[in-house]
Amino acid sequence: MLENKTLAFIGAGSMAESIIGGLLSEQLVSPEQIVVTNKSQQQRLDELQKRYDVQTTSSNKAAVEKADIVILAFKPKHAAEGISTIKGSTTDKHLIISVLAGLSTGYIEQLFEKETPVIRAMPNTSSKVNASATALCKGYYTNAYHLDMSSVLFQAIGTVTTIEESKMDAVTGISGSGPAYFYYLVEAMQTAATEAGLPDKEAKELIVQTLHGAAKRLQQTEKTPHDLYQEVMSPGGTTEAAFTLFKHHRLQEHFQEGIQEAINRSKELGASTKSPLT
């Protein structure tokens, strides 16, 4: 589906590189089909050109004029400025894919000031190891073909789920921020392991494999998380001792409250960009 398509990455940060690396490692496109632009950091473009043999340019306009698919991968706060440099070069034949967190398809469409097919994507930082959980939603001017192309693209860096845009704030709080929650848990487990006398290297190996195994078990069973942790517990045993303390401190409730705060913050950020004039 991407064989004859040229992709322009407007922005050359870590997310752009993750997608580029995934596409090339999966051989979905060749380096000649990718052009990357970053107007302020020529050194970064040189790094990507050397690492992946892709085309680079400091001109957003030149990149878009070569492309079929345009990936907006700069910082969300630069949306109006960035899109102003390319909107005169896009047509309804271009597909715009936005990975700009918090910015709706409607807002992006308004900035282009014409009927522009826009797909909004919410990957996470696990894209760096081709293990992202990415959510996609479509804008007003997109069709099934646009969504299929976007799905193929993001499957190069992990799994893809299609949702309604109204659910994107929840996705941001769950899977967008999600890797950080697990890193926070692992940090606590590593600290406990160190205090119990385990060497750091061995502790990390045990914890990471435990996390990997638990995730794999969840993927391969129809049992609920509650069922699975109950299986580990024995009356009067070690796991029950830990859970007694967790419940006393309402750990699960506080965790849920933290996620809700992330969702609320996503809504606030989105509300601040309802109009390109704000």
73 is in an annotated binding site: yes
Q: What is the rounded CA–CA span in Å between residue 125 and residue 30?
A: 24
74 is in an annotated binding site: yes
75 is in an annotated binding site: yes
CA-to-CA separations, 117 to 54, 95, 246, 263, in angstroms, rounded? 25, 5, 48, 26
130 is in an annotated binding site: no
16 is in an annotated binding site: no
10 is in an annotated binding site: yes
Reduced to 3 states (helix: H, G, I; strand: E, B; else coil), residue 202 is: helix
Reduced to 3 states (helix: H, G, I; strand: E, B; else coil), residue 197 is: coil
Cβ neighbours, 10 Å, residue 274: 12
135 is in an annotated binding site: no
To 10 degrees, what angle do helices 178-195 and 251-271 make? 150
Q: What is the rounded CA–CA span in Å between residue 238 and residue 180?
A: 27
4 is in an annotated binding site: no
**Binding-site annotation: residue ranges:** 10-15, 60, 73-76
**Binding-site annotation: residue ranges for NADP(+):** 10-15, 73-76
**Binding-site annotation: residue ranges for NADPH:** 60
